[in-house]
Amino acid sequence: MHLMRGGSPLSAYRDYYPALQQLSGPQPPSYRPDRTPYRPYLVASRGGHGTATAFVRDPDSTLQVWSRDRGYPGDGSYLEFHKKHFPGGLRYWRVTDAKVDLGGKQLYEPARAQERVQAHAGHFVDLLRGVLTANPEGPHAVVCSPYDTELFGHWWFEGPRWLAEVFARLPQARIAPVDCVTYLETYPPDTTITLLEGSWGEGGDHRVWLNPHTEWTWERIYGAEDEFWTLARQAGTYATEPARRVASQLARELLLMQASDWQFLITTWAARDYAEARIAEHHATFTRLAQALRRLLAGGAMPPAEEEFLAACEAQDFLFPDILSHVAEACRVPAA
């Protein structure tokens, strides 16, 4: 919502990743209270009539579900995520209390947890009804409540059952669940706004992805991007089957290197070593494939060792089989 209204962003993720609390950044932009989050907006970056549409995240329902301290997942009856039995890794304990260390966790009671699931589902539906009733948008008001899917069943074991209970209660509360496309077909937006710069991350800006711990990743990514598009603009890249295969895999490695999860995992310490290794691995693979492609463009052949390496890369990561046609379209180069 801070990208639409300004002001301080929601900080639900710091409950799950304490390292985020150590980040600092600029002050949030000024607050715009005249914009409601309960309607979609057309979006334009340079004025005029927008063509893209933005739904705004509802703060009340977001924190009620996402926040470990203030939301449902932190209830003492729910399954404790962090305490696992060794060996095997199974979880037998409940949250008990957020301030109790792992040694003080009590045994999990499924029936007790199910009672809380039902209570929290009823509370959430009442919350939605209150928001919609008090909203000046009237019957056209829409509450947008997006969550990371990893919350349900991963961080919050009972989350999927809670979702089922919520949907079962919506008709009685006269609340209609709706997807974005269906809502827009019925109530198309008529107000255009310009969104502020920002993100969904801690601080509402870019500090999670760009900070002293992640600067080195961007040096590699930016260099790889420049090299890729230089090669992609050459017609020879699309002229032969070996060149097309190498270029396609080069594009895949670039996409994998660009995944924003790597910086997130580094900054939060959730899996720093793994993320750093993945970026280094994809960068090394990209560099080797780029050398092979330059050799082919210069009229050289594909050595057997490089052919084996390419085949191994394709076996490991073969997403987007037709990726090169889209690259050619972006470069306006005829693809063979």
Shared domain for 128 and 162, answered yes or no, is: yes
Q: Which of 200, 154, 155 is nearest to 57 (CA)?
A: 200
Cα distance between residue 94 and residue 53, in whole Å: 42
Question: What kind and span of H or E run contains 180?
Answer: helix 180-186
Give, as one character, the DSSP assignment of residue 196.
P
Q: What is the pLDDT of residue 274?
A: 98
90 found inside a domain:
no
Residues 265-285 have a mean pLDDT of 96
Shared domain for 254 and 193, answered yes or no, is: no
Higher pLDDT, 20 or 42: 42
Cα distance between residue 118 and residue 59, in whole Å: 22
Residue with tokens 């970026």, as numbered in its chain: 279
Res 227 pLDDT > 90: yes
Q: Which of 192, 196, 180 is nearest to 52 (CA)?
A: 192
63 found inside a domain:
yes
Shared domain for 150 and 221, answered yes or no, is: no
Res 273 pLDDT > 70: yes
Residue % of the chain over a pLDDT of 70: 90
Shared domain for 148 and 169, answered yes or no, is: yes
268 found inside a domain:
yes
pLDDT classification of 5: cutoffs 50, 70, 90: low
Shared domain for 283 and 234, answered yes or no, is: yes
271 found inside a domain:
yes
Q: What is the CATH number of the domain that holds 21?
A: 3.20.110.10
- CB–CB of 226/286 below 8 Å? no
Q: What is the pLDDT of residue 281?
A: 98
313 found inside a domain:
yes
Shared domain for 176 and 225, answered yes or no, is: no
Q: Give pLDDT tens digits for 166-225.
A: 999 999 999 999 999 999 999 999 999 988 888 888 888 899 999 999 999 999 999 999
What angle, rounded to 10 degrees, do the helices at 261-268 and 215-232 form? 170
Q: What is the pLDDT of residue 138?
A: 79
pLDDT classification of 325: cutoffs 50, 70, 90: very high
Residues 104-112 have a mean pLDDT of 98
234 found inside a domain:
yes
What does the mean pLDDT of the chain come to?
90
Res 233 pLDDT > 80: yes
Shared domain for 13 and 162, answered yes or no, is: yes
Q: What is the pLDDT of residue 11?
A: 60
Q: What is the pLDDT of residue 335?
A: 63
pLDDT classification of 50: cutoffs 50, 70, 90: confident
Q: What is the CATH number of the domain that holds 246?
A: 1.20.1430.10
Shared domain for 283 and 232, answered yes or no, is: yes
Phi, then psi, of 232 in degrees rounded to 5: -65, -25
Shared domain for 155 and 224, answered yes or no, is: no
Shared domain for 24 and 160, answered yes or no, is: yes
Q: Give pLDDT tens digits for 124-156.
A: 999 999 999 988 777 889 999 999 898 999 999
Shared domain for 171 and 307, answered yes or no, is: no
Give me the amino acid identity at 111: A
Q: What is the pLDDT of residue 66?
A: 84
94 found inside a domain:
no
Res 4 pLDDT > 80: no
Q: What is the pLDDT of residue 203?
A: 81
Shared domain for 42 and 162, answered yes or no, is: yes
User: What is the count of structural domains for the chain?
Assistant: 2
Of 137, 167, 202, at which residue does a domain stop? 202
**Which of 35-39, 136-140, 248-252, 300-304 has the weakest average pLDDT?**
136-140
Of 202, 236, 258, at which residue does a domain stop? 202
Res 2 pLDDT > 60: no
Of 202, 233, 266, at which residue does a domain stop? 202
Res 20 pLDDT > 80: no
277 found inside a domain:
yes
Cα distance between residue 313 and residue 253, in whole Å: 9
Res 16 pLDDT > 80: no
Give me the amino acid identity at 114: Q
Domain containing 327 equals: 215-331
